[in-house]
């Protein structure tokens, strides 16, 4: 029986994925690296350090120390925080507020499984912080998406088993993480990218709790 919903943040609750990409592009340019055209498909859902390592792999001849990588991650985060400084509840993606309200009315427990260390700050700007029963801190986990740790931990914080939750993702690494945690996966985006999802909708406006519950129970 469905007892809870778990949400990725960037690209599901709000469209911060474009700000992550813009900040990485700016940082990469400053060190003479141009991102591949499909970079966002890899970067979505990956931790800050995994994302930086992917970018640095585009220029394999240059070696960066751990201290230099920390400094580059901090510079990217400063750029990202500037880009997201003015976010408001108007930046919640279409359909999400209705879905959260319907889920609350049904007594479902709600959690956030975002790889972003900025999640609590951004959820506060969206005025969604109090809507969730659990928000997993990615810094407490031993591995990042596509590892199942973040979805396992969020279900645990909600007090639910993997068979009692439905989880929402916009990234291939996130769908992999949900399925490795043996949870029901709703992919938001293209079927080509979100391989392995149990249900795929083209965008958040198409999310319908009644339809999703029927598919969960099937
Ligand atoms: P931060 P999600 C992920 O969030 C983003 O998709 C990914 O692009 C970002 O690198 C990662 O968070 C870390 O974010 O630098 O803010 O800690 O999609 O898991 O909600
Ligand atoms: Mg995401």
Q: Which residue has the tokens 């500037």?
A: 82
Plot region of 18 (φ>0 → left; ψ -120 to 50 → alpha; else → beta)? alpha
Cα-to-centroid distance, 46 and ligand 1 (Å): 6
Does 51 sit in the ligand 1 pocket, CB within 6 Å?
yes
Supply the pLDDT for residue 41.
85
Cis check: omega of the bond before 146, within 30 degrees of 0:
yes
Number of DSSP helices (H) and strands (E) in the chain, helices first = 9, 6
Instruction: For residue 61, report the distance from its CA to the centre of ligand 2, in Å.
Output: 31
Query: How many residues in total does the chain contain?
Result: 218
The pTM of this model reads 0.93
Ligand in nearest proximity to the CA of 12: 2
Catalytic annotation present for 10: yes
- Of 13, 45, 206, nearest to 115 by C-alpha is 45
pLDDT < 70 positions in the chain: none
The reply to whether 70 belongs to the active site is: no
Q: Which two tokens stand for residue 69?
A: 């990588």
CA 43 to centroid of ligand 1, rounded, Å = 8
Instruction: Indicate which atom in ligand 1 lies nearest the CA of residue 9.
Output: 20
Per-residue model confidence (pLDDT) at position 45 = 85
| CB of 146 closer than 6 angstroms to any ligand 1 atom | no
DSSP 45: T
Give the alpha-carbon dihedral of 101, 110, 132, 128, to 10 degrees. Answer: -40
pLDDT of amino acid 91? 96
Q: Hey, whose CA ends up nearest to atom 6 of ligand 1?
A: 45
Task: Give the number of whichever ligand sits closest to the CA of residue 146.
Answer: 1
With a 6 Å cutoff on the Cβ, whether 173 touches ligand 1 is no
Q: What's the complex ipTM?
A: 0.92
């Amino acid at each position: 029986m469905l007892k809870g919903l778990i949400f990725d943040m960037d690209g599901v609750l709000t469209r911060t994925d474009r700000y992550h990409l813009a900040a990485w592009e700016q940082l990469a340019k400053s060190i003479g690296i141009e991102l591949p055209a499909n970079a966002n498909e890899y970067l979505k859902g990956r931790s800050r350090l995994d994302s930086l390592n992917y970018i640095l792999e585009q220029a394999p001849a240059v070696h960066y120390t751990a201290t230099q990588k920390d400094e580059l991650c901090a510079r990217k985060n400063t750029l990202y925080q500037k880009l997201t400084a003015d976010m408001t509840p108007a930046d919640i993606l279409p359909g999400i507020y209705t879905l959260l309200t319907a889920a609350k009315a049904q007594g479902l427990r709600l959690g956030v499984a975002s790889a972003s260390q900025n999640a609590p700050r951004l959820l506060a700007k969206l005025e969604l912080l109090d809507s969730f029963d659990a928000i997993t801190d990615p810094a407490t986990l031993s591995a990042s998406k596509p590892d199942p740790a973040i979805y396992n931990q969020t279900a645990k914080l909600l007090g639910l088993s993997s068979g009692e939750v439905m989880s929402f993702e916009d990234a291939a690494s996130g769908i992999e993480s949900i399925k490795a945690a043996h949870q029901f996966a709703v992919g938001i985006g293209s079927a080509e990218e979100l391989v392995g999802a149990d249900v795929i909708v083209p965008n958040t406006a198409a999310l319908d709790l009644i339809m999703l519950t029927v598919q969960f129970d099937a």
